[in-house]
Amino acid sequence: MWWSVVLVLNLLIALGTISFTHYAYRWMYPECKNGKLPPGSMGFPLIGETIQYLIPSYSLDTQPFVKKRVARYGKLFKTSLAGKKMVITTDPEISNYIFMEEGKSVNLWYMDSFNTFLGAALINSTTTAYIHKYLKNLVLSQVGNESLKEKLLPKIELMINQALNSWSTQPSVEVKECTATMIIELVLKELLSYDSTKSTHNLVQMLSEFIKGMMNIPLNVPGTTFHRCMKNQKKVLQLMKDILHDRKNSTEKPKGDFLDQLIDDVKKEEFMSEELAAVIMIALVFASFETVSTAFTVAMMFLTDQQAPLVVKELLVEHQAIINNRENADSPLTWQEYKSMTFTPKVINETLRMTNGVPGIVRKANKDVHINGYVIPKGWIIMVVQTAIHMNPEKFKDPLSFNPWRWNDIRSNIVGKSFIPFGGGKRNCVGTEFAKVIMSVFFHVLVTKYSWTKVKGGQAVRWPCLSVKGGFHIKVSQKIE
């Protein structure tokens, strides 16, 4: 009898070993029925190469994970991250092709943790394409060129003046936290007509926790980063619902802002619900502050280093000339003055080129994608790594050097495919001009009215999103007239 039990156990172990070996082999050497897969390694089953990918990199340069594989396999290679079979590209031409294929052979895709954070209503709806078109038009109506020109520009300048004046009264400020707070307050006030000082929540901290949880396995267990992320998501979602309900129940006449439009659309659009409206409000606030506040931090790091005096001097010359050409020096910045800036856009471009706050731009193949003699199978994820494209020495000489003057000679064809800070194709960020206006106005006020010195911090780290270890702290002082 015991021999029979032992025999059965041994048989089960043998079968389990054979099954796992077969599964592991298929995972490590996936089949491609309609062609040849790109070269690369799939790593261990399920885990893939996630551990290697998540090793922190203390540099603004391309992550070592990507650089090593590009050197070994080329600019298109396969891997597996967070349980997903994936192809990564660092080639501008391939990346542009992927962007142009959206809606045909590839679709928008978000990581599972991002889906969970924003909710299935926004990400996985059968009307996703329609929703994204609706959102694009809605956001453009609020922060597009016309709105910026006619309404938002003076309000942005006023808020930046108030923020910098407040910073100058403090012993030091942490750049990302303060700029993020400034942008969030701007978005809440101008688009949702909400005074953030009424809230007991720290929106910057709660939304920043999301960034930390985004690249983690979505395991909602107490003690995990993702669990903290989801706790904050519930608080933020409830806050947005409260703002929505307060406006719906208000007896004041409509304000004509983003929130009013959302409330009207809840009544008119079949796909829209209060839950989805609240999620859209979260997405709007998050998209507004994260990339720009990270860019501000990197910009201030560069404007404070050894090469800073030359850049700051040229910025000051440009912005002081704008003031000197006015009849009234204290007049607010006009749209014509903003559009007349020539050096400031180069500083912004160089900052965005070197920042690349997110690990990459992702899409999902909805059919086999044939490219450069390889096949990306249906269902696989495709990641375009902006950092590697922006740090390509063939396109940008001495790429780790902060050099705004390089933009004097960069051709438009390089900008179109090798400079993609706001994405590409149909998904080019609708808030691009909004972000550039905020940065331009910030530099205008900063260099003409203030001086600053570094207090502490300044170590860039990619894990895998860009952050600054310990933050970057500066002391801001008003210039003496």
Checking if the pLDDT of 28 tops 90, the result is: no
Tell whether the model's pLDDT for residue 157 goes beyond 90.
yes
Arithmetic mean of pLDDT over the chain: 85
Ramachandran region of residue 361, left (φ > 0), alpha (ψ -120 to 50) or beta? beta
Q: Is pLDDT of 195 > 70?
A: yes
How many angstroms separate the Cα of 114 from the Cα of each of 87, 122, 233?
Answer: 19, 11, 11
Residues in Cβ contact with 117 at an 8 Å cutoff, skipping those fewer than 6 apart: 210, 213, 214, 229, 230, 233
For residue 345, whether the previous peptide bond is cis, meaning omega lies within 30 degrees of 0, is no
Mean pLDDT is lowest, of 81-85, 178-182, 203-207, 363-367, for 203-207
Most confident listed range (9-13, 116-120, 192-196, 368-372): 368-372
Position 1 pLDDT exceeds 70: no
Inform me whether the pLDDT recorded for 305 exceeds 60: yes
**Spacing of C-alpha 314 from chain mean position:** 29
Percentage of residues of the chain with pLDDT beyond 90: 46
211-220, 304-313, 340-349, 376-385: which has the minimum mean pLDDT? 211-220
pLDDT for the residue 333: 97
pLDDT value at residue 115: 61
Residue 453 β-bridge partners: 475
Confidence band for 11, pLDDT divided at 50, 70 and 90: low
Question: Which residues contact residue 251 at a Cβ distance below 8 angstroms, ignoring those fewer than 6 apart?
Answer: none
Retrieve residue 243's tokens.
Answer: 């703002």
Of 56-70, 251-265, 436-450, the least confident: 251-265
What amino acid occupies position 63?
A: Q
**Of 165, 242, 169, residue with least CA distance to 203:** 242
How many Å apart are CA 232 and CA 252, to the nearest integer? 31
Q: What pLDDT does residue 125 have?
A: 44
Which pLDDT score, from 0 to 100, does residue 41 have?
Answer: 94
Pairing between β-strand 106-108 and β-strand 76-81 as defined by DSSP bridges: unpaired
Average pLDDT rounded to a whole number, residues 252-273: 86
CA 204, CA 183: separation in Å to the nearest integer?
10
Question: What are the residues whose beta carbons fall under 8 Å from the beta carbon of 321, sequence distance 6 or more?
Answer: none
Above 50 in pLDDT, residue 214? yes
Query: At which residue do the structure tokens 């909710």 appear?
Result: 119
Amino acid at residue number 275: E
What's the mean pLDDT in 31-45? 89
pLDDT in tens, 397-425: 999 999 999 999 887 667 778 999 988 77
Residue 332 or residue 7, greater confidence: 332
Confidence grade of residue 439 (pLDDT, cut at 50, 70, 90): very high
Give residue 378's pLDDT: 93
- Banded pLDDT at 316 (limits 50, 70, 90): very high
Tell me: is residue 229 an annotated ligand-binding position: no
- Mean pLDDT, rounded, for 97-117: 79
As a whole number, mean pLDDT of residues 31-60 equals 89
Q: Is the pLDDT of residue 122 over 60?
A: no
Helix (H, G, I), strand (E, B) or coil at 384: strand
Q: Tell whether the model's pLDDT for residue 261 goes beyond 70.
A: yes
Pick the range with the lowest mean pLDDT from 202-216, 220-234, 324-338. Answer: 202-216
Choose from 68-72, 115-119, 188-192, 290-294 the range with maximum mean pLDDT.
68-72
Q: List the beta bridge partners of residue 371.
A: 374
Least confident of 141-150, 423-432, 446-455: 423-432
- The more confident residue out of 210 and 98 is 98
